[in-house]
Chains A and B, each alone.
Chain A
Amino acid sequence: MAHLSFKINGKTRSFDVEPDCPLLYVLRDNAGLNNPRFGCGLGQCGACTVLVNQTPVRSCTLPASRAAGKEIMTLEGLGTPEHPHPLQAAFLEEQTFQCGYCLNGWVMAAKALLDKHPHPSDEEIRGAFEGLVCRCGSHVQIAAAVKRAAEMRRA
């Protein structure tokens, strides 16, 4: 058992966890954050994506000890209905997603993408989304929403 601290969505939080426990379970079960989602536990679907020091990572395969002391952002930290992040507004306008179980991965990956490339090319969008899965097939609207969010930021 180790006592690990993280800065999660701007707040410092500490937990007693096994150092090899994947960050996903610390966020879900210790921090009570639901949006990093379990899809595969193998780094193959992206449902568990969070930003660690602004970089998207698959939290299901990252040992908690490797994220200790770092800044972690989850979907819960992105925006609120009152102050939506442009991505949330854009995904709503596009009415993207069916079940939405994959949503977390796409939105968090898109957040990292837009922070780096405010006006991403199609190729940059494809690159950022590599390794993300949507089993319901929402891909076309996902790409449209990211472009719309980039436009909203320009405006």
Chain B
Amino acid sequence: MASSTSRRDFLTIGSGLLIGFSLSDSATAPQLMAADTAPNPSPARLDAWLRIGVDDHVRVFTGKVDIGMGVQTALMQIVAEELDVPVSRIELIMGDTAATPDQGGVGGSTSISAGGKPLRNAAAAARHALLQLASNKLGAPAAQLDVHDGIVSVRGDASQKISYGALVEGHELGEALRVSGNGFSLNVEGSAKPKDPSTYTVVGKSVPRVDLPPKLFGRAIYSTDVRVPGMLHGRVIRPAGAGSTLAGVDDRAAKKIPGYVKTVTKGNFVGVVAENEWSAIRAAGAVKVNWSAPAAAFPDDLYRHMRSAKPKASRQLNNQGDAAAALSRASKKIEASYEWPFQAHATMGPGCAVADFHADGVTTVWTGAQKPHALQKGLAQMLGLADDRVHVIWVEAAGSYGRAGDEDVAADAALLSQAVGKPVRVQWSRADMTAWGGKGPAAIVDLSAALNQDGSIAAIDMSSRAFSGTEIIPQATTAGNMLAGQLIGMPNTTAGDEYVQWGGSTYPYTIRNLRCTGHVLAALYSESSPMRATHLRDPNGPAGTFASESFMDELAAEARVDPI
């Protein structure tokens, strides 16, 4: 992870755009631990987005993060294009609540289309400011200057040149930017216009991924690799089932394990802390915990339950032409039902986070969460701290496909650190992840089609019944949205309704008579549930895609044509 090694030292440097800094490969502990607050930087200043060092190095700050899609390389290309510097000279700092503007984290495949905009505009503003400086220095109008690889030269006189690094020495340009939107739509504009895309030389070209060399040479840092001085290791012990309450804890056997520190209980949250990872694993197995019986059994027949349950919301998602009429007069009708189970997101690495709680300072949390600024708020609420007393630092994790656990494990680590007053790393086991991590929602999709004589499609009626994909809401802004928060008694705030928010399952082809209806079912359990559903990439849902594509195959077989 190219951006992680030096994110520690930028917090101590001044606020100007054009300032020097040193690159150091220091340990992960931030200077901020000693500070009183860690507020979010305002997006309204150019230097919140971009800084240039006297060594020509360009440091770029973004609230976007990379969850395996390679977006960091693409964002760097955008800046390299506008500034006319090589990608290799750019360092991207991502998802740090005290250092990067809040761009809503990542989601919805918008990181380039929306998230790249403010970076492009900030880079254009910086280039403009640099050309003004160069114009003064070189005594030539800005319009007669060229930039190549961060060197500004006078057109027609190559001997007249100066580097960005030399230009910035001793200057500070904190240009004010116009801010619009927020979250995913946050944008800024300065006085300069970005380049005309028809002149692009870097954007649109394939460049090697910047994150791959450190990964292949074994030097990348993932959230699992964060170590801070004095760090202890934690494990969580989850309830016997949804709604089970804690009836008693016996840690006598755990006390005999070398390195055992403490069993922490708070409400129905239980965790153990030990000096090393293996002791924590053994202690978690040795602690005897009594739980009350689960609140309700899982339905014997999930799909029967789903068919008979009264939906909490229903919505006509699409209604073109007259599907009902076309179906009633169809010469041929095909019907099929598709049942899609709950699915574990099964990220390659189970959730892992490190938290360092400070009651009178800044609490720092290192996490792979895909929305660090939202998580900052949720953790602050859970810990009883002001937002600016929580500093969330994103560190790359195993690729994720929705909100399956990185936020939850950060909350676990934060609670344990608060309880023992030391930094705690929590690594979920695979069982923790599979059993209690977020699940892709179960769905039933019923489809009927009317076929014309020639096999072409006259009408399609699609009706889906599904749990909401937002039982874990996309933004971790409240404590009650996280498992640890619910376990300590914070009210569940996850009343989301995926179909209303995102449009739900619709048939993805142009059909003259098309009707799509979505029904959202109430969550199986209201609190502390292992079945909390969160969309499994993508928001429209693999269930709907699976059903409609499978149905297309049925219709093609009926018409004796190739479905592709």
The answer to whether A binds B is: yes
- Measured CB to CB, the residues of A under 8 A from B are 1, 17-18, 21-22, 25, 28-29, 32, 34-35, 37-42, 44-45, 47, 74-76, 78-81, 84, 88, 91-92, 95-104, 107, 133-136
B213 and A99 contacting across the interface, CB-CB below 8 Å? no
B217 and A100 contacting across the interface, CB-CB below 8 Å? no
Chain A: interface secondary structure?
Answer: loop
Question: In this assembly, does B67 line the interface, its C-beta being within 8 Å of a C-beta of chain A?
Answer: yes
B398 and A99 contacting across the interface, CB-CB below 8 Å? yes
A38 and B348 contacting across the interface, CB-CB below 8 Å? no
Report 22 cross-chain contacts, Cβ distance below 8 Å, ordered by A residue.
Answer: A17-B278, A34-B222, A38-B349, A40-B350, A78-B217, A79-B217, A81-B213, A91-B216, A92-B216, A95-B212, A99-B67, A99-B396, A100-B68, A100-B211, A100-B216, A101-B397, A101-B398, A103-B216, A107-B216, A133-B348, A135-B348, A135-B399
Give the docked Cα–Cα distance between A80 and B209 (Å).
Answer: 18
Nearest CB of chain B from residue A64's CB, rounded to whole Å: 9
CB-nearest residue of chain B to A1: B258
Contact digits for B201-231, partner A, Cβ 8 Å, 1 yes 0 no: 0000000110111011110111011010000
Residues of chain B within 8 A (CB-CB) of A81 are 213, 217
Question: In this assembly, does B70 line the interface, its C-beta being within 8 Å of a C-beta of chain A?
Answer: yes
Residues of chain B within 8 A (CB-CB) of A29 are 233, 276-278
B348 and A21 contacting across the interface, CB-CB below 8 Å? no
Among the interface residues B217, B276, B397, B427, which one has the most CB atoms of the partner chain A within 10 A?
B217
A78 and B218 contacting across the interface, CB-CB below 8 Å? yes
CB-nearest residue of chain A to B259: A18
User: Given B209, B346, B350, which contacts A38 in the complex, CB threshold below 8 Å?
Assistant: B350
Please judge, given known A-B contacts A34-B225, A98-B68, whether A25 and B218 are in contact too, CB under 8 Å: no
Give the docked Cα–Cα distance between A96 and B208 (Å).
Answer: 11
Give the docked Cα–Cα distance between A44 and B67 (Å).
Answer: 23
B217 and A84 contacting across the interface, CB-CB below 8 Å? yes
Residues of chain A within 8 A (CB-CB) of B279 are 18
A92 and B67 contacting across the interface, CB-CB below 8 Å? no
Give the docked Cα–Cα distance between A75 and B216 (Å).
Answer: 8
Residues of chain B within 8 A (CB-CB) of A17 are 278
B349 and A100 contacting across the interface, CB-CB below 8 Å? no
A34 and B218 contacting across the interface, CB-CB below 8 Å? yes
B429 and A100 contacting across the interface, CB-CB below 8 Å? no
Residues of chain B within 8 A (CB-CB) of A18 are 258, 278-279
Q: A92-B216, A135-B398 are in contact. List 6 more A-B contacts (CB 8 A).
A: A18-B258, A34-B221, A35-B218, A47-B349, A102-B398, A136-B348
Residues of chain B within 8 A (CB-CB) of A22 are 278
Nearest CB of chain A from residue B445's CB, rounded to whole Å: 24
Please judge, given known A-B contacts A101-B348, A135-B347, whether A75 and B218 are in contact too, CB under 8 Å: yes
A37 and B278 contacting across the interface, CB-CB below 8 Å? no
Give the docked Cα–Cα distance between A5 and B534 (Å).
Answer: 46
Among the interface residues B278, B350, B429, which one has the most CB atoms of the partner chain A within 10 A?
B278
CB-nearest residue of chain A to B69: A98
CB-nearest residue of chain A to B220: A100
Residues of chain A within 8 A (CB-CB) of B218 are 34-35, 74-76, 78, 104
Question: In this assembly, does B430 line the interface, its C-beta being within 8 Å of a C-beta of chain A?
Answer: yes
Residues of chain B within 8 A (CB-CB) of A45 are 348
CB-nearest residue of chain A to B347: A135
B349 and A39 contacting across the interface, CB-CB below 8 Å? yes
Nearest CB of chain B from residue A152's CB, rounded to whole Å: 14
User: Given B225, B258, B348, B396, which contacts A47 in the complex, CB threshold below 8 Å?
Assistant: B348
Nearest CB of chain A from residue B267's CB, rounded to whole Å: 28
Residues of chain A within 8 A (CB-CB) of B396 are 99
B429 and A92 contacting across the interface, CB-CB below 8 Å? no
Residues of chain A within 8 A (CB-CB) of B208 are 92, 95
Among the interface residues A42, A91, A133, A136, which one has the most CB atoms of the partner chain B within 10 A?
A136
Residues of chain A within 8 A (CB-CB) of B350 are 38-40
Give the docked Cα–Cα distance between A45 and B352 (Å).
Answer: 17
Among the interface residues A88, A99, A102, A107, which one has the most CB atoms of the partner chain B within 10 A?
A99
Residues of chain A within 8 A (CB-CB) of B258 are 1, 18
Please judge, given known A-B contacts A38-B427, A135-B399, A136-B68, whether A100 and B276 are in contact too, CB under 8 Å: no
B348 and A25 contacting across the interface, CB-CB below 8 Å? no
Nearest CB of chain A from residue B140's CB, rounded to whole Å: 40
Give residues of chain B (339-364) contacting chain A, Cβ–Cβ below 8 Å.
Answer: 346-350, 352
Residues of chain B within 8 A (CB-CB) of A101 are 68, 222, 347-349, 397-399
Nearest CB of chain B from residue A136's CB, rounded to whole Å: 5
B213 and A92 contacting across the interface, CB-CB below 8 Å? yes
User: Given B209, B224, B346, which contacts A135 in the complex, CB threshold below 8 Å?
Assistant: B346
Give the docked Cα–Cα distance between A44 and B429 (Å).
Answer: 13
A97 and B215 contacting across the interface, CB-CB below 8 Å? yes
Give the docked Cα–Cα distance between A133 and B430 (Å).
Answer: 14
Nearest CB of chain A from residue B202's CB, rounded to whole Å: 17
Give the docked Cα–Cα distance between A134 and B347 (Å).
Answer: 9
Give the docked Cα–Cα distance between A10 and B211 (Å).
Answer: 27
Give residues of chain B (243-301) contacting chain A, Cβ–Cβ below 8 Å.
Answer: 258, 276-279
B217 and A134 contacting across the interface, CB-CB below 8 Å? no
Residues of chain B within 8 A (CB-CB) of A107 are 216
Of all A-B residue pairs in the complex, the 8 with the closest CB atoms, nearest first, are A99-B399, A99-B68, A101-B398, A75-B218, A100-B215, A135-B348, A34-B225, A21-B278
A98 and B216 contacting across the interface, CB-CB below 8 Å? no
User: Given A25, A76, A99, which contacts B278 in the complex, CB threshold below 8 Å?
Assistant: A25
Nearest CB of chain A from residue B440's CB, rounded to whole Å: 14
Nearest CB of chain B from residue A83's CB, rounded to whole Å: 10
Give the docked Cα–Cα distance between A76 and B209 (Å).
Answer: 20
Nearest CB of chain A from residue B542's CB, rounded to whole Å: 14
Nearest CB of chain A from residue B432's CB, rounded to whole Å: 11
